[in-house]
Amino acid sequence: GLLKVDEDGVTTLVSHFNGSKIQFADDVIEGEDGSLYFSIASTKFGLHNWYFDLLEARPNGQLLKFDPQTKETSLLLDNLYFANGVALSSDQRYLLVCETWKSRCLKHWLQGDLQGKTEIFIDNLPGAPDNINLAPDGSFWIALIELSNKEMKFVHTSKIVKHLLATFPKLIKFVQASHNKATVMKVSEDGKILKRFDDAEGTVVSFVTSAVEYEGNLYLGSLNSNFVGKLSLNNL
Gap between the Cα atoms of 212 and 83, Å rounded: 19
Reported confidence tier of residue 88, pLDDT bands at 50, 70, 90: very high
Mean pLDDT calculated for residue range 178-188: 87
pLDDT higher than threshold 60 for residue 158: no
Task: Inform me whether the pLDDT recorded for 131 exceeds 80.
Answer: yes
Per-residue pLDDT, averaged over 39-64, amounts to 87
Banded pLDDT at 55 (limits 50, 70, 90): confident
Distance between CA atoms of residues 82 and 24, nearest Å: 10
Predicted local confidence at residue 179, as pLDDT: 65
> Is the pLDDT confidence value at 210 over 60?
yes
What confidence score (pLDDT) does residue 175 get?
Answer: 43
CA Rg value for the chain: 18
Closest-CA residue to 152 (of 134, 133, 168, 165) = 165
Is the domain 1-117 a CATH 3.40.50.740 member? no
Do strands 94-99 and 182-187 pair parallel, antiparallel, or not at all (unpaired)? Answer: unpaired
Burial (CB < 10 A; 0-12, 13-18, 19+), residue 95, is buried
Whole-angstrom distance, CA of residue 25 vs CA of residue 165: 24
What confidence score (pLDDT) does residue 172 get? Answer: 53
User: Would you call 190 helix, strand, or coil by DSSP?
Assistant: coil
Per-residue pLDDT, 159:
56
Which H or E run contains 167?
Answer: helix 159-167
How far is Cα 97 from Cα 131, in angstroms, rounded to an integer?
A: 9
Give the pLDDT of residue 225: 87
Question: Tell me, what's the pLDDT at 178?
Answer: 54
